[in-house]
Amino acid sequence: MPSMLICRLAPLVLLGAFTTSALAQSDAPFRLIVTHLEPPLVPNSVMDLAETLGYFDQEGVNVELVRVQQTPSALAALQAGEGEMANIGVDALLQAIAAGATDLRAVTSPNKALPFLIAANDEIPTVEDLAGASFGVGRIGSLDHSLSSLVLDSMGVDIEQSQIVTLGQPSVRAQALAAGQIDATTMSIGTWLSLPDTSGLHVLVDQDAYFAAAPLVNKVNAVPGEVLAERPDDVAAVIRALIRISRDFAADPQLWVDGMAEALPDADTAALDALVTSFATSWSVNGGMSADELTYTADWLYGTEDFSAVPPLALEDWVSFAPVDAALASLGAAAGMDPADR
């Protein structure tokens, strides 16, 4: 992979509280709430490996990973004061702020790209053949349902012409597809690769095509206003560590594979190779905070059924660029992927 071209940012106007010091400001644990490390969660692994490979230590921040099962639990833990930062869905963040958690802000996105694809049985060779076929979704109006509708609509296909089957969690939908109970469904590439037997199945819409049709920021790391005010240097240090490791993975994907193989000795090496290849252009080498992408994501969410009663927020009401700008002031911006537009 070509090496990153690092260019210096133009001087950034930073909030006075943020510094570009190489060291963070506190020895107190900085609790980062994450979901459990599993092979499907390629971007989530950036945070795990930043801890195990010493990137947080190099930035002088004492990060303690707090494990939860699913992203809704991460938001709940953050609001309960069980951590300083949490990796959560943009949809969950917008809904939480609308419900009264008005001090929460997204500060970086180490896993912004959508890791999704549409898989189908071999009786569905093209997206046009989905008409009349059974399509598994979490629930009517769920994120996967709305996203798949957006993706297929861009390809001239109306998902509502399929027989929509509500099945809940992605793993359940994947098992239903493998068992021949449905004809197609959306799942993460990791879930696809974890299926023990894909005979009779194929990828109908791959990850690149899915993201091209739905260029949405999937998840962000959010912090409460109190953390931004009281521990700004720690927040910036965490972001520097995540940017640095993302750049190293982009330049040398084998570093990610080796790190994951050590963290998960039972992981399938071939699956890890396939996963890292699928994310070749998706690393958050500038912190994952493109204003255009974040705005597009919010605008799309506000048009979905789940957000029909949610009042839209201005970008500044749910995003703070100051911490990532502080990190980029010392690291410079990387060209080639992950735009740093404001």
Domain 5-113+216-335 identical in fold to domain 116-213: yes
What is the pTM assigned to this prediction?
Answer: 0.85
From residue 244, alpha-carbon distances to 59, 174, 234, 249, 338 in Å are 10, 34, 15, 9, 13
What would the pLDDT profile of 218-238 be if each residue is shown by its tens digit? 899 999 999 999 999 999 999
- pLDDT tens digits for range 107-165: 999 977 778 999 999 999 999 999 999 999 999 988 899 999 999 999 999 999 999 99
Residue spans of the domains in the chain: they are 5-113+216-335, 116-213
What is the tens place of the pLDDT at every residue in 41-84? 555 789 999 999 999 999 999 999 999 987 789 999 999 999 99
Domain 5-113+216-335: give its CATH superfamily: Periplasmic binding protein-like II (3.40.190.10)
Rounded Cα distance, 12 and 155, in Å: 40
Cα gap 148→162, rounded to integer Å: 12
What is the structure's pLDDT at 42?
A: 59
The whole-number pLDDT of residue 13 equals: 34
- CA-closest candidate to residue 48, choices 136, 141, 129, 110: 110
In terms of C-beta density within 10 A (0-12 exposed, 13-18 middle, 19 or more buried), how is residue 136 classed?
A: buried
Q: Tell me if 184 sits within 8 A of 177, measured CB to CB.
A: yes
Residue 2 in this model has a pLDDT that exceeds 50: no
Into which CATH architecture does domain 116-213 fall?
A: 3-Layer(aba) Sandwich (3.40)
